[in-house]
Amino acid sequence: MSPTTPRSHPFATDRRRFLLGTTAALGAGAATVLGLPGTASARSAATGTLYIASDSTAQTYNSGYYPQAGWGQTLPAFFSSNITVANRAIGGRSSRSFIEQGRLAAIHQVIKAGDYLFVQFGHNDATVGNAERYTSPADYKEYLRNDYIRATRARGATPVVVTPVSRRSYNASTGQFNVSFPQYVNAARAVAAEEGAPLVDLSELSRVYLNGVGIEASKKVFLWLSPGQYPNFPNGISDDTHFQQNGATQMSRLVAQAVARLGLPLSGEVKPAAL
């Protein structure tokens, strides 16, 4: 089966019913809706909504989970009041299940021209042993292309591909952090390049950041808590995937800094404090 038709999952043939319009006729030419660096559109102020489609690494947590937080939860602090952040990220979802459950369709029902859709998946796509989540790298690439990029552009909005943020996974011999989910990182980079979509390479940015703080200090980035340290985690926790408030803030800062360099209308709405 060719990479452009990798539909082995039993729900795959039904996924188009969750989209509000066809994207089959859309090609790379749809990139004309993007404001390119150096154009009048790219230099103008932006107003609108920044939607986030993602998983538990980006989702918003209520006070019962404090200090756990996702980077989408802390992202609004880095943008001007012209931008509303609508964080639709939710734990346990992959690029495929987010579509199958109608969550992308719900965004597409309200997204409009001038809005943005930031899409970050990969953590759950890579769970081979979980049939509800697993999505092959080839399928992941086509979901990004057809459902998240082209279908979003069809609504006049701008999709932004975000590579999966790094886990606390490192080489004990070198002290350097590993690339998490490399097949999905490479697929996201490739489809963004092929479609001319803006890319926030959070995989690389977060890994460079973690290498800078070091292995031990990275525990303060991720959800490593001692017993009794926080009421919501009385027994403590050692979590190498999810972030505590400080870590989520640092990840969202990296996202905002990358956006400032994209040359989009949104770029001018990044607060100077983020840079």
pLDDT tens digit sequence for 142-171: 999 999 999 999 999 999 999 999 999 999
| Strand arrangement of the beta sheet that strand 222-225 belongs to | 68-69, 237-244, 222-225
pLDDT at 192 over 80: yes
Amino acid type, 254: L
pLDDT of the residue at 106: 98
| Kind plus residue range of the DSSP H or E element containing 211 | helix 202-213
pLDDT (mean) for 161-182: 98
CA-based nearest residue to 140, from 90, 87, 181, 199? 181
Give the pTM.
Answer: 0.84
pLDDT (mean) for 56-75: 98
pLDDT of the residue at 273: 84
Mean pLDDT over all residues of the chain? 88
pLDDT (mean) for 163-189: 98
pLDDT of the residue at 44: 57
Tell me the two tokens of residue 67. Answer: 């200090």
pLDDT tens, 72-89?
999 999 999 999 999 999
CA-based nearest residue to 9, from 165, 147, 136, 129? 136
Task: Name the pairing type of β-strands 199-200 and 237-244.
Answer: unpaired
pLDDT of the residue at 7: 41
pLDDT of the residue at 14: 41
Instruction: Map 42-99 to HEC letters.
Output: HHCCCCEEEEEECCCCCCCCCHHHCCEECHHHHHHHHECCCEEEEECCCCCCCHHHHH
Q: What is the DSSP string of 133-199?
A: T---HHHHHHHIIIIIIIHHHTTT-EEEEEPPPPPS-B-TTT-PBPPSSHHHHHHHHHHHHHHT--E
Residues 225 and 244 sit within 8 Å (Cβ to Cβ):
yes
pLDDT at 180 over 80: yes
pLDDT of the residue at 110: 98
Instruction: Report the C-alpha dihedral over residues 243, 249, 252, 257, rounded to 10 degrees.
Output: -140
pLDDT at 201 over 80: yes
Cis bond before residue 67 (omega within 30° of 0): yes
Residues 165 and 206 sit within 8 Å (Cβ to Cβ):
yes
pLDDT of the residue at 245: 98
pLDDT tens, 3-18?
333 344 433 434 433 3
pLDDT of the residue at 274: 85
pLDDT at 37 over 60: no
pLDDT of the residue at 30: 35
